[in-house]
Amino acid sequence: MSKRYFGTDGIRGLVGDAPITPDFMLKLGWASGRVFARQAGGEGRCLVIIGKDTRVSGYMFESALEAGLVAAGVDVKLLGPMPTPAVALMTRTQNADAGIVISASHNPFFDNGIKFFGADGAKLPDETELAIEAELEKDIETVQSRDIGKVLRVVDAAGRYIEFCKSTVPEGFSLRGLRIAVDCAHGATYHIAPSVFGELGAEVITLGVQPDGFNINEGVGSTDMGQLSNLVRDSEVDFGIAFDGDGDRVLFVDGDGELVDGDELVYIIAMHRLATGHSDAGVVGTQMSNLGLELALREAGLELARAKVGDRFVKELMETNGWSLGGESSGHIICSDVTTTGDGIVAALQVLLALQSAGGDLAAVRAGITMCPQTMINVAIDAKVVLEDFPELTAAVSAVEEGLGKRGRVLLRPSGTEPVVRVMIEGQNAQEVEQLCTGLAQEVGRILG
């Protein structure tokens, strides 16, 4: 069965446009509460954790979800602004039946969305999402007054998560002597990430830590690294770390202000694990992972397995292969031997652990991987499309692939989180790649109207 509301990463869209409306969120809270209560088997009260990022609309949707859940007879614990991976963690440690995150991740403030976690702190399986959609087709029926859920605010959630993050590195690990710039995107890590690195001994210079409900991801964070790069170059810091709005992605810049993307960070972690005898046979990436990562891993004797784009697909392939490390170019990195989902702060600490082991020079550690030139252009669309339904599009892609031969590759895919088709071309010559990608993107726009 196809899903009406759920995409690759929950439900997301423009605030005020269906389904990102208060009335829908009320119904979604009720529908999901019914499903979670049913799955809990009626043994005690069903409990759902709710966290959110710093968007102004989060207050509105938090209240709506809360009302729907308690109407279904579900108890609720509110975390307030917390990173997405913190909600996954708290879902497990609070013995909750599910967790909900109100966030549109790296999108602007005028978007919002909902992500769910199961009791195990992992994203929901398709069957559960379909069960929630089935409940959404029904009329709301409030439980008897004696069975209405109760709501509690968790006041020490941030402190608990900070301690968890620090526990993911060995006892005695210290960042003393390092000067680090940390960009929190005016998002959910603003009150957490600086404390984690500071409590581990680093001198922290902050950026993007003054959320006002509207400035999340605006000119800061992992989607816009310019300010962080300038700060690193101008402030004599060792390197910079940037998170996205909900804290499940991380990117670095080295001491020269040069971007270190998710593929390079995965490589750094993988090489540390290989050197310390804790490596699996390979690493999971995605269709978008740079060819340079694949070649560098192969040279080290490791395999790169490519999943569909999206952290849930990366996690699924990691589980299938029995591997503990996977990630995306965007900086969504999963270390499943440490936590259950992509976690920007935890991944950053794994990189810092690798750096310390290798002598602390980020530029030197990344020297083992040579990234292939890659250009990606987003082509705006009005509605979801199935690319295979457009033979002219298939022909256009084939023509570019034929021209590239074995020197590169082409990837077209509709985004699961934005109304765009992503056009990506990778090769050995940067100018050729850019020209081909620009031309193909224009063709995609013409063909799709």
Output the pTM of the full model.
0.90
Q: Are strands 75-81 and 47-52 parallel, antiparallel or unpaired?
A: parallel
Rounded-to-integer distance, Cα 132 and Cα 340, Å: 22
Rounded-to-integer distance, Cα 418 and Cα 384, Å: 10
Which two structure tokens, joined as six digits, stand for 300? 């080290």
| Whole-number pLDDT of residue 1 | 67
Q: Which of 57, 103, 105, 222 is catalytic?
A: 105
Encode burial over 104-141: b for 16+ CB neighbours within 10 A, e otherwise.
Answer: bbbbebebbbbbbbbbebbbbeeebbbbbbebbeeeee
Rounded-to-integer distance, Cα 158 and Cα 81, Å: 9
| For residue 249, pLDDT beyond 70 | yes
| Whole-number pLDDT of residue 405 | 83
Give the DSSP letter string of 190-215.
TTTHHHHHHHTT-EEEEES----SS-
| Whole-number pLDDT of residue 42 | 67
Q: What is the CB-side half-sphere exposure of residue 342 using CA atoms within 13 A? A: 30
User: Using 50, 70 and 90 to split pLDDT, how confident is the model at 139?
Assistant: very high
| Whole-number pLDDT of residue 44 | 67
Whats the size of the chain, residue-wise? 449
User: Using 50, 70 and 90 to split pLDDT, how confident is the model at 408?
Assistant: confident
Across the range 270-279, mean pLDDT stands at 95
Of 42 and 75, the structure prediction assigns the larger pLDDT to 75
User: Using 50, 70 and 90 to split pLDDT, how confident is the model at 46?
Assistant: very high
Rounded-to-integer distance, Cα 364 and Cα 346, Å: 22
| For residue 173, pLDDT beyond 70 | yes
Q: At what angle do helices 344-357 and 157-167 cross, to 10 degrees?
A: 30
Among 10, 12, 9, 155, CA closest to 80: 155
Cβ neighbors of 231 (< 8 A, separation 6 or more) are 181, 183, 205, 207, 237, 240
Domains, the chain, in order of start with CATH, read 11-155 (3.40.120.10), 160-257 (3.40.120.10), 260-348+360-368 (3.40.120.10), 374-448 (3.30.310.50)
Q: What is the CB-side half-sphere exposure of residue 164 using CA atoms within 13 A? A: 23
Cα-flanking dihedrals φ and ψ of residue 238, to 5°? -70, -40
Beta strand extents in 308-373 (DSSP E only): 325-327, 333-335
Across the range 418-435, mean pLDDT stands at 90
What does the pLDDT look like over 307-334, one tens digit per residue?
Answer: 998 888 999 999 999 999 999 999 999 9
- Residue 181: strand, helix, or coil: strand
User: Using 50, 70 and 90 to split pLDDT, how confident is the model at 216?
Assistant: very high
Q: What element of type H or E holds 118?
A: strand 111-118
| For residue 80, pLDDT beyond 70 | yes
| Whole-number pLDDT of residue 342 | 94
398 as an active site residue: the answer is no
Cβ neighbors of 169 (< 8 A, separation 6 or more) are 200, 349, 350, 352, 353
| Whole-number pLDDT of residue 385 | 84
